[in-house]
Amino acid sequence: MFVSKIELQNFRNYETLSAELGSGVNVFYGNNGQGKTNILESVFLCAIGRSFRFSKDADLVMNGRDNYSVSLSVGDDITNDISIKYRTGQQGLPAGGEKSARVNGLYLRRLGHLMGNLLSVIFSPEDLEIVNDGPSVRRKLLDIVISQIYPSHYFDLQQYNKIISQKNVLLRDFSTEKSGLSELLDVYNEQLSAAGSRISARRLLFSRELEEYASLKNSEISAGEQLSFQYYSNFFTVSALETDNFEDYSKKIQSEFDEILSSRKTREIERAHALYGPQNDDLLISLSGMDLRRFGSQGQKRTAVLSIKLAETLLLYKHTGRKPVLLLDDVFSELDETRCSLLLGSTEGFQTLLTTANLSELPRKVRDNAKIFFVKSGTLKLI
Ligand SMILES: Nc1ncnc2c1ncn2[C@@H]1O[C@H](COP(=O)(O)OP(=O)(O)OP(=O)(O)O)[C@@H](O)[C@H]1O
Ligand SMILES: [Mg+2]
């Protein structure tokens, strides 16, 4: 799939923009702070409904305006166009503002239905956080790619997060004197165990595939070093079942989750907080048996992270039969020659939107075949 046209209004530093893209490599180059990353952000927004910088919608609205709109034309059998509109909270509107999305001209009742219409993977220097930061970054990585393949995962997460906040409020104000609270906790636990076991089952199964693909990519440029993942959870111990069947896994995980939630109910009440569930899951990343986060060198971490992103790209393609649009934000300045050729070799044939402050740092092969835009203060000029 490829984005053939981007139209922006009042988005970040773009008052209006209409740009036609090529189906291969598109380069956005210019000085710092001119709006290169903002272009990638607008495309990613149409893929998963929010900014990859996790900015609030109000921050995406051009300063001094009260709404933004992003529209993409897409070359694909299933998706032709996607648009997102947002208006800031003001009198008569909800405090968080109003956001709506359309796909192929049809209004989406829930924003989550965007998932899977535009497939996209973002590569950026911040990807090192996947190795260096806490578990939530790795859960997010898994959840974003899984939701694009299985939109139901996104709705499970929404449902789970809603109930876990309600459960935490209940646990905080829990009193054995008030009647009905213990029963309400049981109701919450039942709902959490249903959605939570599906969430962990998806992540666990996907992490195995990711390991397979990422370790292959990793070994392409670091012979002999074995990249491996171990899925960690504090509420189930399913190691391996006979099958790779999602339903079998979620059932097995659910029975362990039910058991923990009921046997540790008193403990959660004492601690006044939900202690067990996929909100604590993690993906432990090792290289040749050692914890990459603690013992890996910068170079080993960069190679691992690039391999993980490439694996994500290939798995999206494998599962959907559609090639995701790749967004490469300033990555070439960080890559040495070997990693650069791994990236280029693995992503040929995928539409790529890339940003750089310095055209000369791009490999010749990329420059020669690209559509190149010069970005200055929220305007694009084709060169
Ligand atoms: N809501 C907004 N309204 C107006 N301008 C904004 C808004 N949000 C960000 N900007 C402007 O957008 C510019 C940053 O855009 P962007 O992050 O795309 O830069 P860039 O070209 O990628 O720069 P770099 O090379 O430093 O990464 C800044 O000038 C910033 O002031
Ligand atoms: Mg940038």
The pLDDT tens digits for 44-97 are 999 999 998 888 999 999 999 999 999 999 998 888 999 999 999 877 767 789
Q: Which ligand is nearest to the CA of 41?
A: 1
Q: Ligand 2 center to residue 366 CA distance, Å?
A: 19
Distance CA 119, CA 44 (A): 9
Q: Ligand 2 center to residue 210 CA distance, Å?
A: 28
Looking at residue 333, its pLDDT comes to 84
Among protein residues, the one whose CA lies closest to atom 16 of ligand 1: 35
Locate 161 and state its tokens.
């997060």
pLDDT at 243 over 80: no
Looking at residue 310, its pLDDT comes to 96
pLDDT bracket for residue 224 (50, 70, 90): confident
Q: Find where tokens 């192929």 sit.
A: 104
Looking at residue 77, its pLDDT comes to 86
pLDDT at 237 over 80: yes
Neighbours of ion ligand 2 (CB under 5 A): 36-37
Q: Ligand 1 center to residue 39 CA distance, Å?
A: 10
Tell me the best of 6, 8, 12 to mutate to test the pocket of ligand 1, counting ligand atoms within 8 Å of each CB and taking the most. Answer: 12
Read out DSSP for 302-343? Answer: HHHHHHHHHHHHHHHHHHHSSPPEEEEES-GGG--HHHHHHH
Domains and CATH numbers, the chain: 1-119+322-383 (3.40.50.300), 127-321 (1.20.1050.90)
Per-residue pLDDT tens digits for 132-175 = 999 999 999 999 999 999 999 999 999 999 999 999 999 999 88
Per-chain mean pLDDT for the chain: 94
pLDDT bracket for residue 241 (50, 70, 90): low
Residue 375 CA, closest ligand 1 atom number: 21
| Helix pair angle (298-320, 135-149), 10° resolution | 20
pLDDT at 295 over 70: yes
pLDDT at 176 over 90: no
pLDDT at 193 over 90: yes
Q: What is the pTM of this model?
A: 0.94
pLDDT bracket for residue 179 (50, 70, 90): confident
Q: Ligand 2 center to residue 71 CA distance, Å?
A: 21
DSSP helix/strand/coil, 265: helix
Residue 41 CA, closest ligand 1 atom number: 18
Q: Ligand 2 center to residue 39 CA distance, Å?
A: 9
3-state secondary structure the chain: CEEEEEEEEEECCEEEEEEECCCCEEEEECCCCCCHHHHHHHHHHHHHCCCCCCCCHHHHECCCCCEEEEEEEEECCCCCEEEEEEECCCCCCCCCCEEEEEECCEECCCHHHHCCCCCEEEECHHHHHHHHCCHHHHHHHHHHHHHHHCHHHHHHHHHHHHHHHHHHHHHHCCCCCCCCHHHHHHHHHHHHHHHHHHHHHHHHHHHHHHHHHHHHHHHHHCCCCCEEEEEECCCCCCCCCCCCCHHHHHHHHHHHHHHHHHHCHHHHHHHCCCCCCHHHCEEEEEECCEEHHHHCCHHHHHHHHHHHHHHHHHHHHHHHCCCCEEEEECCHHHCCHHHHHHHHHHHCCCCEEEEECCHHHCCHHHHHCEEEEEEECCEEEEC
Q: Which ligand is nearest to the CA of 13?
A: 1
Per-residue pLDDT tens digits for 92-125 = 767 789 999 999 999 999 999 999 999 999 999 9
pLDDT at 228 over 80: yes
Q: Tell me the mean pLDDT in the region 15-26.
A: 97
Q: Ligand 2 center to residue 273 CA distance, Å?
A: 39
Residues near ligand 1 (Cβ within 6 A): 12-13, 30, 32-38, 59, 61-63, 355, 357, 375
Give the contacts of 70 (CB within 8 A, at least 6 positions apart). Answer: 6, 7, 8, 9, 11, 42, 45, 46, 83, 84
Looking at residue 240, its pLDDT comes to 62
* CA-based torsion, 221, 222, 226, 227: positive or negative: negative
DSSP helix/strand/coil, 102: strand
Locate 92 and state its tokens.
């008569």
pLDDT at 185 over 80: yes
